[in-house]
A and B are shown apart, each in its own frame.
Chain A
């Protein structure tokens, strides 16, 4: 059951996460700031309200599972896990450093509370299907398996192999979220390789699709509430319409800020932008 947390509290947490993303990018020297900032509201709502996970018992069998299929956004995920108490906040200072547990992509064998190693796109949804099947076979029917994907990632054929399987096996506890920030490395998704209408594609594959404004916490909260309450026999896809780099004006909607380097001036500017949100 989702926790009783208000939209205002979640908004404050999302702001804190954005600041931690920028701080971590600064420790790391660089990072995938664009896609990390775009999905920050969704991650916040998941970890501080919706996911049934326990920082004191991260391996709890009946827990909800979360897979960051857009693994390059470990820059948002690891600070989120730190804020949720799974790893120490101070450990973020090692991000990208020699022999750190944290690099550009998350390693489930090294990060407490991380359910899957990811980084190669198109791998998360198949693993999510496997987890959902495995939990159901073992009698765990209430746990959700949530997979957060990128929008460019939708180009990968393996996403659709898994989309077919999720509907075929009626995995109603599987929730796929597409962070629809509209940009990929080489440019806008619709000019590199179009994915629209992405919600209709999931519907055609037998999923129940929900659209939300992914940088508006009220809308995010509403979408997740609907997904959690859904009682049909389909898996659920949330298309979370976001802006890449959301929260920092210089990054917002800018292709080059898919991945960028930090310096002290930029850091100050970014923090000031986020604090003014």
Chain B
């Protein structure tokens, strides 16, 4: 176990990613007195309240005021502190979006925006509380690092890692309990480096966030049918791991991206840009929310609706395998 961590496999099996975030942040606060927290009446909901329970003088609740939330976070950072600012993803990226962009990112301040209730994870709350736009918005902001962890173990690692990033950081987690993807904490997590979950040669599935586990499960099912799918955990959206994408293009020539986000502007588009700029041919499909507002429902039902579950991902893989790609036997020799 990494030094200082006290989160356990038990925690990851019993706690939501946001609960683990709150817990790890409270632990980090013990050894780093530069860490402070800011929230906008969502201390409990985002679990940054765990940090506040431990350090009441270091958590600032600004009330229901998201513009103030990120402006205050910027001001705190200007005095040398490392603020973690938490609210729901939709309010972070849109209600406080300009403050994140202008006060925090433009000034390259080390504010860590930890956004919860991302994607469709707040299903029954409806579209006012769904957030399928944050990847696009945060990716387009210069200086920003964007990480979407797949489970609680990764959340813990990302929270620890972001403290050392000397600049703004955006991380999105869900609302509820999703089964952990990792068995324990013994895996390498490096911001900016895709994680190989399963190797394969017919196709590469690239996923981030909650659907990543589903992608791995789909690959297992496909294996039984004789389809060899590589699965990459693209937890870091920005900077995107171009090397991993190009390796997939060259070695599997078919790529499916899977994300709990609008298909516009997220992981799929980030990967597509790498492919297009390379000049290499590749069969390619994006799975996500097809540029529409989500319906009401429990997250698992919404994931199934948008094919973000193992069944939907496996189906889409088969469709993609049936797509024709222009044969050019020589392109592996090209520079």
| Cross-chain contact A137 with B67 (CB below 8 angstroms) | no
Any B CB within 8 A of the CB of A94: no
Q: How far is the CA of A115 from the CA of B74 in the complex (A)?
A: 11
For B72, give the chain A residue with the smallest CB separation: A130
Any A CB within 8 A of the CB of B239: no
The residue that B81 contacts in the complex, of A65, A116, A134, with Cβ under 8 A, is A134
For A128, give the chain B residue with the smallest CB separation: B75
How would residues 100 to 136 of chain A score, 1 for a CB under 8 Å from any chain B CB and 0 otherwise? 0000000011000001110110110111111111110
20 contacts between A and B (CB under 8 A): A108-B107, A116-B78, A126-B75, A127-B71, A129-B62, A129-B75, A130-B78, A133-B60, A134-B75, A134-B76, A134-B78, A134-B80, A138-B81, A157-B67, A158-B99, A161-B63, A164-B63, A165-B62, A165-B72, A169-B60
**Which residues on B are within 8 Å of A, measured CB to CB?**
36, 38, 57-58, 60, 62-63, 65, 67-68, 70-81, 83, 98-99, 102-103, 106-108
Q: How far is the CA of A126 from the CA of B98 in the complex (A)?
A: 13
Q: How far is the CA of A123 from the CA of B104 in the complex (A)?
A: 11
Q: How far is the CB of A52 from chain B (nearest CB, A)?
A: 15
Interface SS of chain B: helix
The answer to whether A122 and B72 touch (CB under 8 A), given A61-B80, A108-B107, A134-B79, is: no
Q: How far is the CB of A110 from chain B (nearest CB, A)?
A: 11
Q: Which residues of A contact B36 (CB under 8 A)?
A: 134, 137
Any B CB within 8 A of the CB of A25: no
| Cross-chain contact A129 with B72 (CB below 8 angstroms) | yes
| Cross-chain contact B103 with A126 (CB below 8 angstroms) | yes
**Which residues on A are within 8 Å of B, measured CB to CB?**
61, 65, 108-109, 115-117, 119-120, 122-123, 125-135, 137-138, 157-158, 161-162, 164-165, 168-169
Q: How far is the CA of A158 from the CA of B40 in the complex (A)?
A: 13
Interface SS of chain A: helix
User: What are the nearest 6 A-B pairs in CB distance?
Assistant: A130-B75, A126-B71, A134-B79, A161-B65, A161-B68, A130-B72
Q: How far is the CB of B312 from chain A (nearest CB, A)?
A: 41
For A127, give the chain B residue with the smallest CB separation: B75
Q: How far is the CA of A161 from the CA of B65 in the complex (A)?
A: 6
Q: Which residues of A contact B72 (CB under 8 A)?
A: 126-127, 129-130, 133, 162, 165
| Cross-chain contact B75 with A131 (CB below 8 angstroms) | yes
| Cross-chain contact A165 with B68 (CB below 8 angstroms) | yes
For A162, give the chain B residue with the smallest CB separation: B68
Q: How far is the CB of A75 from chain B (nearest CB, A)?
A: 20
Q: How far is the CB of A165 from chain B (nearest CB, A)?
A: 5
Q: Which residues of B contact A61 (CB under 8 A)?
A: 80
| Cross-chain contact A133 with B76 (CB below 8 angstroms) | yes
Q: How far is the CA of A117 from the CA of B75 in the complex (A)?
A: 11
Q: Which residues of B contact A108 (CB under 8 A)?
A: 107
| Cross-chain contact A130 with B67 (CB below 8 angstroms) | no
Q: How far is the CA of A134 from the CA of B107 in the complex (A)?
A: 17
Q: How far is the CA of A257 from the CA of B219 in the complex (A)?
A: 66
For A158, give the chain B residue with the smallest CB separation: B67
Q: Which residues of A contact B60 (CB under 8 A)?
A: 133, 169
For A164, give the chain B residue with the smallest CB separation: B63
